[in-house]
Amino acid sequence: DATKIKFNDGYKLIQEAVRSKFRLSDDIFKIEWYNLHETFLNKRRDIKKGLRKQETTVQTNPSAQI
C-alpha cells in the first residue's frame, strides 16, 4: 500500500542515507526531502522510459540491436 510506504523500514533507511550523504540537519532535511524525493522519482521514471523506448526500437527494428 503506497500510503504506508513512509513507515517502511527500507524507506526510512533511504531517507537517513540521503540525509547523511548530503550532510543535512534534521530541519533542513524535512524541508528538502520532498524536492529530493521528486528528483529521484523523476530520474527513475526517465530511466524506465528510456529502457522501454529501447526495447520497442529493438522489437520493431531488430537490426538496430547493439
pLDDT of 5-61, one tens digit each?
778 888 899 999 999 999 999 999 999 999 988 998 899 899 988 888 887 777 776
Q: Provide the 10 A C-beta neighbour count for residue 14.
A: 13
Where are the chain's structural domains? Answer: 2-64
Q: Which pTM value belongs to this model? A: 0.55
pLDDT given at position 64: 57
pLDDT given at position 29: 93
pLDDT given at position 26: 93
| Contacting residues for 22 by C-beta, under 8 A, at least 6 apart | 36
